[in-house]
Amino acid sequence: MLFKNIIGHKGIKEKLVNSVKNNRISHAMLFLGKGGTGKLSLAIAYAQYVSCLNKTDDDDSCGTCKSCRKYNKLIHPDLHFVYPVVRSKKFKKPISSDYIKKWREFVLKDKYHDYNDWLSFIGTDNLQGSIYSQESQEIIRKLSLKTYEAEYKVMIIWMAEKMNVSASNKLLKMIEEPPSKTLFILVVENEEQILTTIRSRIQLMKINRLTENDIKLELENQFPNIDKSVIKDSARIANGSFTVAKKNIEQIQNSDFSDASTKNFDLFTNLMRLAYSAKIIKLVEWVNEICKFGREQEKAFFQYSLRMIRENFILNTALDKKDEITFLSRKEFEFSEKFCIFINKNNVINLYEEFSKAQADIERNAYDKIVFLDLALKTAQLLRIKN
């Protein structure tokens, strides 16, 4: 993975390169940012640059030395990965190594990676992924070995917030007393879910959202046959995530109405229509429908709904500036242009809080039918509060 192949983040790349040039490589770093910003690719590119045997004058790995060739396939013996996995009949006590072939395929097929896409890729999108306690033993074992080829051993932990408490405590000990020439890179979306004691001992590297222009240029490169206006709209509503923008283009290109974003749009709009009409029996049917999906899809629905509530409130307060301040697809805007009047200053906070609370309950494995039915009934009350 080369820095030049990752769009945006010029300042971050310069900091990473300078840390190597000035021999100030931290033993532990936290790459923090939203999904779809290329955090994992940046982490791999940095590790590759650290290990490159023939660094170029333009501040990048050469891509051709013995080390780079192995990094290009993610098979370097001093590069290790940890990532969420799931229990199954085949793997009752799973560790990342059990899924390494799938992982390499998943990472190499794209430069922008999504947690739900990973679970779907390994065929377990109805289960929640985790980094279990037994993983910490593997981390200790791998990092206690001497390096094979490179100067540094690198351990990249993707979605480190999915690590359970036991594994986190053992990782803390490794970070406090790291083996010589070891580089930890934690790639995280939710900093608050990382132990405070770990965060205090690790160098933070904030990965900002991608700019609209960066996303647009990359979309034009990957989808040369798509209309420029469609690409512009997709880049605009992506809110800094290349993954979101790309999925929108692929949905249009393939007319794939089973896509998660289309599911979420249908679920959200149906909920709002039924809730406003107070059709209780239909709301119960809606609850039964959404509860057929797995926990990760349910959580994705909440993320989508929170965005739609926010965008509709903004649209309601400044309809005359809709093109400047809202991030909605054409289909979403067609719905929201009429619906936004029901999201106002007197109910938006309560709506946002109810959806956030329901999301938290689902993440704590609460019984989903009760959570969604309660949410649907409260939404029916709140939508009738007028401005």
Residues of the chain with pLDDT > 90, as a percent, come to: 55
Mean pLDDT of the chain: 89
**Confidence band for 258, pLDDT divided at 50, 70 and 90:** very low
**Confidence band for 294, pLDDT divided at 50, 70 and 90:** confident
**Confidence band for 204, pLDDT divided at 50, 70 and 90:** very high
In a domain, 217, yes or no: no
- Asked if 79 and 144 sit in the same domain, the reply is yes
Print the domain residue range for 345.
257-382
Quick one: pLDDT at residue 268? 96
In a domain, 231, yes or no: no
pLDDT digits (tens, 9 = 90+) for 174-194: 888 888 889 999 999 988 888
User: Average pLDDT in the 17-42 region?
Assistant: 94
Quick one: pLDDT at residue 245? 86
Q: Which residues, at least 6 apart from 275, have a Cβ–Cβ distance to it below 8 Å?
A: 283, 376, 379, 380, 383
User: Average pLDDT in the 92-109 region?
Assistant: 94
In a domain, 227, yes or no: no
- Asked if 80 and 150 sit in the same domain, the reply is yes
- Asked if 152 and 274 sit in the same domain, the reply is no
CATH code of the domain covering residue 198 = 3.40.50.300
- Asked if 282 and 166 sit in the same domain, the reply is no
Quick one: pLDDT at residue 256? 40
**Confidence band for 326, pLDDT divided at 50, 70 and 90:** low
- Asked if 172 and 295 sit in the same domain, the reply is no
State the pTM of this model: 0.73
Number of domains in the chain: 2
